[in-house]
Amino acid sequence: MSTSKIFRDDVLKNKVAFVTGGGSGICRGMTEAMIRHGAKAVITSRSQERLDKAAEEMRKQTGGEILAIAADVRKPEEIINAVEKAIERFGKIDILVNGAAGNFLAPVETLSYRGFRTVIEIDLLGTYNTTKACFPYLKKSRGCVINVSAILHYQSTIYQSHVSAAKAGIDALSRNLAAEWGPHSIRVNSIAPGIIAETEGLAKLLPSAAAGSVTGSIPLQRMGTISDIEQATIFLASDAASFITGQIIVVDGGESLMRVGVLPYPESVIDPTNFSTKKLGVKL
């Protein structure tokens, strides 16, 4: 369901959103939704070429103003530069969405030191770097921060220790910043998506054999959609959530209430030198 059927078209009029990872996937949907409701947007990722393509497509779809700036969230100097360019163009930042993320399947036995560190740097340090760079402008606008988290760490998710640790850190950071920055009228919340259909992440992380039957483990009996995340985004970015901060909004159809694990648990020791989810089979 389109956000326009629920929220006023101008509910974010004159707001400026800064979105990391805004050129693809869930974060692109979040960006498009905010633009549809009157916001201007700045999107960042590492590839200027991919950003430019995404920005042009979104302009055609929404008619909105979008500035694309390549930046690596792991590098403070690059994200600071992107924030400064956003201020030069639009003069302010009202909404920050931290969505840049990296992930892959890996048992800890074969997960390299560098692989673990890279995910922590993109997800957790990237969130910190961007939020800190935007703080002076969020303070001035009395803006809000929306961090994209996950439900992986609510119980345990095998082969996802790296991203679970990163997202748990993001949740903790969100709560602490909400308390610390509340006196500046800055709200800080997280959205924790469950299984979201038709995303690159789902294709990478869930064996195709399991995708069709996974709905049986979700109380609402369906996978989520990017539109479901868009609805939560517009709510948290709008004045409807003006007294909500430090919260993790779980958008998972109830999956985390009954979580048994989407990936198959190995019945015998996995050969770490030849790890493949396809060879594990699927049991739900």
Q: What single DSSP character describes residue 221?
A: S
Closest CA to 246 of 186, 179, 185, 184: 179
Three-class SS state of 190: strand
Q: Are 23 and 200 in contact (CB under 8 A)?
A: no
From 15, 141, 167, 174, active-site residue: 167
Which residues on neighbouring strands pair with residue 189, listed in sequence order? Answer: 146
How far is 119 from 126, CA to CA, in rounded Å? 10
Known active-site residue 167: yes
Which residues on neighbouring strands pair with residue 67, listed in sequence order? Answer: 42
From 24, 45, 149, 190, active-site residue: 149
Q: What is the CA radius of gyration of the chain?
A: 19
Nearest 10 degrees: Cα torsion 188, 58, 76, 121: 70
Closest CA to 36 of 77, 6, 70: 6
Strands (DSSP E) contained in 33-141 are: 40-45, 66-70, 95-98
Known active-site residue 53: no
**CB within 8 A of 282, min separation 6: which ones?**
207, 209, 210, 213, 264
Handedness of CA 64, 69, 73, 77 (dihedral sign): negative
Q: What single DSSP character describes residue 196?
A: B
Positions annotated as catalytic residues are 149, 167
